[in-house]
Structure 1
Amino acid sequence: MARTVVGLFTSVSEAEFAVAQLQAAGFAGPAVQLATRETLQAQHLPGLEAPTETFQDGVVRFFSNIFSGTQLDDAAAHIAATGPEHAVITVDTTTAAEADQARELLDRNGAIDVYKQRPLAAATPTPDANEIDLEGDLGRVRDDEELDANGLTTH
């Protein structure tokens, strides 16, 4: 069964290093994708010379496409945790073993837990809003064997 592993990184350079580690482990070609601020704004689409959407709109589109159907809580967690300097790696795998290997490599190379990130666009921070922890709302996901300790998901 095909699965996509998603890892969020705090910088493009950190994500690029993780991509190199994935490639060294045998994940190559179109199976490994790196999304940055520019690509999240649809600048990468053919025929476009400039971004056609805001960064936030691009992030929403990107994660809504990855986490479709019943995974909208996962999309919301990733959207809330993604900032302009972040980068996202997606790894398409064909087996559960490949997905586990990709998750482990992303973990080892700095992927962050999107379920425990500070809000990036909070209007007025309050003591209760200092940290987003969707664990309670995502109990079905947090208990899922396909979610690792750093919050990397496999879909």
Structure 2
Amino acid sequence: MAACADSEERARWALLTIDTDHFKRFNDRYGHPAGDRALKQVATVLSERAEAVGGSAFRVGGEEFTILAACKPGEAALLAEAIRAGVAALAIPHADNPRGILTLSVGFAHGALTPGRSLQDWMESADAALYAAKRQGRDRVCHAGGPEPAWPARLVTAV
């Protein structure tokens, strides 16, 4: 995957909020040691994808993650989808997930950090997109705002 930003676009950022779908059920069925192993695999995918575009991945809660990367809007959508698809490709069995494997829901907000937009507003936008992805069936990506160019399959816009 190509770097997300060139020197002219460094002021544009994508904030991705990521939740491992039905993870409490995963822990309940397979146990916490298996859950820890699964989260390490998820974290590896997130870190590799984030680092490939010059971004950073962070674990922010039990099964919740965030990625911050400098990139253009279309690149942010592709990054989010690459992360979702990368974890699905691991094919970690999850009998309590409708897909039968461990999946992710991803919400993201994109834009420039400006004096008129607080970091908290930006985080809330990405989080609202994450919850839209969950409401719309999980295992998908939602963007906080209008449609992005060249949306890959499985990407939807939060309303």
TM-score w.r.t. length of structure 2: 0.30
More strand by share: 2
TM-score w.r.t. length of structure 1: 0.31
Q: Does 1 or 2 have the higher relative contact order (CA < 8 Å, sep 6+)?
A: 1
